Amino acid sequence: MTSEALPEVNNEGGDHGSSLLQAYGDSFVKMITDFDNPRQEWRRILSEGLGTFFLVLVAAGGPMVNHLVPGSVSSTAAVIAPGIMVMAIILFMGRVSGAHLNPGVSIAFALRKDFPWRRVPAYVIVQLVGATLAALFLHLVLNVSSSFGGTFPLPHHSAWMAFWIELVLTLGLVSVILGTASGAQNVGIIGALGVGGYIALAGLWGAPISGASMNFARTFGPDLVALKFTDLWVYAAGPLVGAVLAVGFAYLLRGPGGGRSGSLAAQGGIFPLIAHPGKT
């Protein structure tokens, strides 16, 4: 906050301290209420970090709590819970940042031209930070290694099996996300239900093979806190390739992106940059 942004203060005949406090107060109120100001990028960054924190809190927290209290969280509940959490996050903060919560999703939206590339690095960094903070919180509170909340390939099987599962699951996930953010399919709650439902369904059958991460941040956070990076490449390469393929299929099915509905879904409502304003 610069001094130029503050209202002019007249100290003649008044209390200097109270006037200065009022000046800062007015400036702060303007800062947090001026939603259309392009300088409000910090809102979308905060939103992505908070959303990713809660996603990993649930995704890693289920298995970690089950390790602490055996039998308390079933494998079915552990894979359905992240889907429900994503559904809730999209509904409560999708309007702010687009609720990507996933580096692969941010990259896919950028490739689709629904999201500006200049915003991608900050999104990816804050997603990784949010995921790491969630894993660290769980580790400190539960006193359980975050490795129990990580995602790893099926033991005694090739990591390539997990790679292909992550690739295909992410292809489906990003296809659902891009589809429900496009044109006539962009119908409010439908996107949240579609994405959340897909994550739960994919986890029901894919989790035993790879953990059904579909999200590098979700895997990276617990791995970093536990300092256990077993086959981390699977969860970087699989989701990335799957996301890129999903963008290709989206082009074949619906043509180029960058239209109004897709851009607003990807960017939220804070200073959206729309590549093709005339396209729905």
Domain range list for the chain? 41-267
Which of 102, 75, 109, 56 has the alpha carbon at shortest distance from 204?
75
Lowest-pLDDT choice from 6-20, 49-63, 83-97, 216-230:
6-20
Indicate the pLDDT class of residue 250, thresholds 50, 70 and 90.
very high
State the pLDDT at residue 187: 53
Residue 2: is its pLDDT beyond 70?
A: no
* Per-residue b or e along 109-130, where b marks 16 or more CB atoms closer than 10 Å to that residue's CB: bbbbbbbbeebbebbbebbbbb
Which of 150, 165, 157, 169 has the alpha carbon at shortest distance from 210?
165
Average pLDDT of the chain is: 87
State the pLDDT at residue 40: 78
Alpha carbon separation from 224 to 22, 102, 189, 253 (Å, rounded): 44, 16, 34, 38
Q: What's the CA gap between 213 and 77, in Å, rounded?
A: 15
Burial class (CB in 10 A: 0-12, 13-18, 19+), 171: buried
Alpha carbon separation from 183 to 64, 159, 255 (Å, rounded): 40, 38, 11
Which of 104, 60, 62 has the alpha carbon at shortest distance from 223?
60
Tell me which DSSP letter residue 12 carries: T
State pLDDT tens for residues 131-163. Answer: 999 999 999 999 999 999 999 999 999 999 999
State the pLDDT at residue 269: 77
Indicate the pLDDT class of residue 8, thresholds 50, 70 and 90.
very low
The mean pLDDT value for 248-272 works out to: 86
199: its two tokens: 């994550």
Indicate the pLDDT class of residue 39, thresholds 50, 70 and 90.
low
State the pLDDT at residue 273: 80
Angle between helices 41-68 and 120-142 (to 10 degrees): 30
Residue 16: is its pLDDT beyond 60?
A: no
State the pLDDT at residue 124: 98
Alpha helices in the chain (DSSP H): 16-33, 41-68, 75-97, 103-111, 120-142, 159-179, 189-210, 216-226, 232-254, 260-267
Q: Which CATH superfamily is domain 41-267 in?
A: Glycerol uptake facilitator protein. (1.20.1080.10)
Residue 6: is its pLDDT beyond 80?
A: no
Indicate the pLDDT class of residue 243, thresholds 50, 70 and 90.
very high
Q: Are 166 and 242 in contact (CB under 8 A)?
A: yes
Residue 83: is its pLDDT beyond 80?
A: yes
Residue 230: is its pLDDT beyond 50?
A: yes
The mean pLDDT value for 35-63 works out to: 89
Residue length of the chain:
280
The mean pLDDT value for 240-267 works out to: 91
Q: What are phi and psi of 202, to 5 degrees?
A: -65, -40
C-alpha dihedral (67, 69, 70, 72), degrees to nearest 10: -110
Alpha carbon separation from 115 to 105, 134, 274 (Å, rounded): 10, 26, 8
Lowest-pLDDT choice from 17-31, 44-58, 76-90, 171-185:
17-31
State the pLDDT at residue 1: 41
Residue 199: is its pLDDT beyond 70?
A: yes
Residue 233: is its pLDDT beyond 80?
A: yes
Alpha carbon separation from 34 to 28, 31, 43, 91, 208 (Å, rounded): 10, 6, 11, 22, 47
Q: What's the CA gap between 168 and 32, in Å, rounded?
A: 41
Between residues 73 and 33, which one has the greater pLDDT?
A: 73
Question: What Rg, from alpha-carbon coordinates, does the chain have?
Answer: 21
SS3 state at 141 = helix
